[in-house]
Amino acid sequence: MDNTFQENETVRMEAFSDGVFAIDITLLTFELKAPRHPDGDYSSVMLLHALFKQWPAYIAFGLSFATIFIIWVNHHRMYNVIRRSDSRFMYYNGLHLLLVSTIPFTTSLMSNYIATEAMTLAGFVYMFLFAGICATLYLMWSHATKDYLLLKRPAADVKVQTVRMGLVISIIAYVVAALASFLSPYLSLLIGFGMVVYLSRLKYHRERVV
């Protein structure tokens, strides 16, 4: 059995992941750019108009920020019930981070193409990435909970099936959102915001009274 990684390994891997999440969520800010202005006179009204024209960027920024935040919360809740790590779990986590760190790219796609015909594809890619990210969370969870392999004791408090179901539902919902962007990009975005609420409610272990 390959148990190289101990508890303190789990701590470091989580800290490293936290770093990637924090940087990623902050890099989204590059989606928001001060509108270029020609030299010479430039009035507040013109700037206001230019700022309003950037609305797709604000929506993409807001949804991506909320989604990264809520995925971080879930990643974090998962680690909270995990006692140790092994190589496979580490690689699943690496894959998870790889996908998370491409969110600024798909966000940029969204905010660049949201007002064009190509938004259909941009929305599809954007939502499909979130499905993939939930799939890596599912892989991590499945592996960690198989025979209660990596769980903290008492494992009885861990909601193995609830989370498994919750992540499957999330994957399906994001695939639906991806496909929905062929019908209406705005429906797709709505599902995206709904998923932030849904994922915020996923509980990984029974609550104990403090």
Separation between Cα atoms, residue 98 and residue 90, nearest integer Å: 12
Q: Provide, rounded to whole angstroms, the least separation between the CB of residue 41 and a second copy.
A: 6
Per the listing, tokens 């929305």 go with: 123
**Binding to a second copy by residue 101, rule CB under 8 A?**
yes
**Binding to a second copy by residue 92, rule CB under 8 A?**
no
- Identity at 128, one-letter amino acid code: F
Q: What is the dihedral of CA 71, 74, 79, 82, to 10 degrees?
A: -140
Stretch that binds a second copy, among 46-54, 135-143, 158-166, 187-195 (CB under 8 A): 46-54
Q: Provide, rounded to whole angstroms, the least separation between the CB of residue 155 and a second copy.
A: 15
- Identity at 16, one-letter amino acid code: F
**Binding to a second copy by residue 147, rule CB under 8 A?**
no
Contacts of 196 (CB under 8 A, 6+ apart): 63, 66, 67, 70
Scan residues 51-90 and list those touching a second copy (CB under 8 A). 51, 61-62, 65-66, 69, 72-73, 76, 80, 84, 87, 90
**Binding to a second copy by residue 130, rule CB under 8 A?**
no
